[in-house]
Amino acid sequence: MRPSEQAAAAGAPAAGPPAAGAPTAAGPIARTPLREEVRRRLLAQLFDGTLPVGERINERRVAETLGVSRTPVREALMALEQEGFVASRPARGFAPTPLSARDVREVYPMVAALEALAVRSTEPAVLAARLDALAALADELAAAGDDARRVQRLDDRWHERLVSGCDNDRLLRTLDGLKRVVRRYELAWLGERERVELSTAQHHAIVAALRTGDLDDATALIELNWRGTMAGLLAWLERREEARNS
């Protein structure tokens, strides 16, 4: 067992500052349990494109980068395989799984419906207190240009803020799990200027509807926003398939 694992098993504080907020893809492991922390780091690499779809994941390199043995890395990869993020291949190890058009068609309508439900489940005063922040985030998104990673971060933050007042934890966990399925693939096309402008306009329209208390209009716009994302991603998948076959 490596020193970092011995310290974690003994409950001793690990060296270095703890990670804050969302998981990062680099730096030594600092928290326990190791398998879960490695899983979170690998997810971060999947989402930011560090681990490309279809490319074999080098377990030894991951272990060296994170300062752990290969055991928690393999355990984390097995957990990610159960979640559908990676797939194992005989004699080739693990690789990030590609996204199918079927996955997109199945997941996005569910996300749209659950996010609309989360908004409807939020107390009006709690929702109203978030509207200025939502408008400001929409303005930031408009200024993000074609920086796909920044666009994705701001878009994620906007949607997270929108539902953050919902007190149905099970609903929010389910919603987050569904978003994880497709989030990393959005990175490939979210930076398109036309898409950013449309998303920004839709976000502002949702805020405007919520300011008037029109939940029916707001939730219809939320579903329109997600279905537009679905259509864009399906078109991107189709273009990628055509390029592969040409």
How far CA 172 is from CA of 74, 119, 223, in Å, comes to: 29, 11, 16
168: Cβ–Cβ under 8 A, 6 or more apart, which residues? Answer: 118, 121
Element (H, E) at 88: strand 86-89
How far CA 156 is from CA of 109, 133, 144, 149, in Å, comes to: 17, 14, 13, 11
- 167 pairs with which residues across the strands? none
Q: Which amino acid is at 55?
A: E
Q: How far apart are CA 246 and CA 242, in angstroms?
A: 6
Higher pLDDT, 6 or 98: 98
Please determine, for residue 127, whether its predicted confidence score (pLDDT) is greater than 90: yes
pLDDT tens, position by position, 1-26:
444 444 444 444 444 444 434 445 55
- Residue 191: pLDDT band by 50, 70, 90 thresholds? low
- CATH 1.10.10.10 in the chain: give the residue spans: 3-96
CATH 1.10.1040.10, applies to 3-96: no
- CATH 1.20.120.530 in the chain: give the residue spans: 101-245
Q: Tell me, what's the pLDDT at 21?
A: 41
Of 1.20.120.530, 1.10.1040.10, 1.10.760.10, 3.40.50.300, which CATH number belongs to 101-245?
Answer: 1.20.120.530
Please determine, for residue 87, whether its predicted confidence score (pLDDT) is greater than 50: yes
